Amino acid sequence: MIGSIRGRVLAISQGSAVIETGGVGLVVLATPSALAKLRLGEEAFLTTLLVVREDALTLYGFADDAEKQVFEAVQTVSGIGPKIAMAVLAAMSPAELSQAVAAGNLTVLQKVPGIGRKGASRLCLELAGKLTMDASSPHQRPASDSAVHQEVAGALVALGWNPSQAEAALNEVAASEGAASSAPEVLRAALRVLGARHG
C-alpha cells in the first residue's frame, strides 16, 4: 500500500495532480481540499490510498486522514465505489458528511452527483455510528475572509480556471453563502458554481 506521497508537483488539473517522487511522476486523483494545498514546482505531501482493481492501479490523494477515513468508509456502503466516494468528498467535508448522516439529512446527501434518494438512505443506514468527525476539526476552522478569498482564488487558478472566472465564482459564493466559511468549504462552493457555468 502507498499510504502517503511526498514530492515535487509537476502538474495540477481538475481532479488530479502529478507528483514526482523517486524520479517517477505519479498521477494522483485528489480531493479539492488536497489539490488546494498544492503549488506547481513546489514540494507537497499528501495522504494517499492505492486502490487495486483487475484492470487498474489508482492512487487517491487526500488533504488529511479524516478525508481518507471517509473515502474508505463510504465505499463500505453497498453500490458505492471510489468514484462516488470522491464525489462525496468534493461536495462536502468529513464533518459535514458526519452531520448529514447523523441527522438523516437525505436532501444534503442527494446534492452529491451520483447519489439519489436510495443511495442517500443507504449512506445514512450503513454509515450510522461509523463517522465521528468533529465539525470543529482544525481544517474546518474559518480563517479571515480576505485570506480565504486569496487562498481559494489561487487554488482555482492552479486548477486551470483563469483569474476572472475564479473571482466571479468567489463573488457569487460570497453573495449566496456569506462569510465565515473555511477555505475548503469555499473552494467546494466555487467549484460547484464553475461547474454549473462551464460544465
Q: pTM of the prediction?
A: 0.69
Query: What is the pLDDT at residue 24?
Result: 94
Separation between Cα atoms, residue 185 and residue 89, nearest integer Å? 11
CATH fold, domain 4-62, is OB fold (Dihydrolipoamide Acetyltransferase, E2P) (2.40.50)
Q: Three cell numbers at 181?
A: 466559511
Do 5 and 47 touch, CB atoms closer than 8 A? no
The CATH classification number of 65-127 equals 1.10.150.20
Contacts of 14 (CB under 8 A, 6+ apart): 159, 160
Helix locations, the chain, DSSP H = 32-36, 65-74, 82-91, 94-103, 106-109, 117-127, 145-158, 163-177, 183-198
Task: Kindly give, in sequence order, each residue whose CB lies less than 8 Å from that of residue 177, ignoring residues fewer than 6 positions away.
Answer: 189
- pLDDT of 130 reads 81
Q: What confidence score (pLDDT) does residue 141 get?
A: 40
**Residue 196 CB burial class (10 angstroms; 0-12, 13-18, ≥19):** exposed
114: left (phi over 0), alpha (psi -120 to 50) or beta: left
Residues of the chain with confidence (pLDDT) below 70:
132-145, 177-181, 197-199
Q: Do domains 4-62 and 142-198 have the same CATH topology?
A: no
pLDDT at 77: 92
Structure confidence at residue 138 (pLDDT) = 40
What is residue 199's predicted lDDT score, i.e. its pLDDT? 57
Taking the domains of the chain in order of start, what are their residue ranges?
A: 4-62, 65-127, 142-198
| Confidence at residue 135, expressed as pLDDT on a 0 to 100 scale | 41
In the chain, the N- to C-terminal Cα span, in Å, equals: 34
Distance CA 41, CA 12 (A): 10
pLDDT of residue 143: 41
pLDDT at 132: 66
Q: Supply the pLDDT for residue 139.
A: 42
The CATH fold of domain 142-198: Helicase, Ruva Protein; domain 3 (1.10.8)
SS3 165: helix
Q: Which tens digit of pLDDT belongs to each residue from 124-151?
A: 999 988 876 544 444 444 444 677 777 7
Grid cell of 168 as nine digits: 466571479
Cα 95 to Cα 138, 169, 172: the distances in Å are: 11, 24, 24
The enclosing H or E element of 57 equals strand 56-62
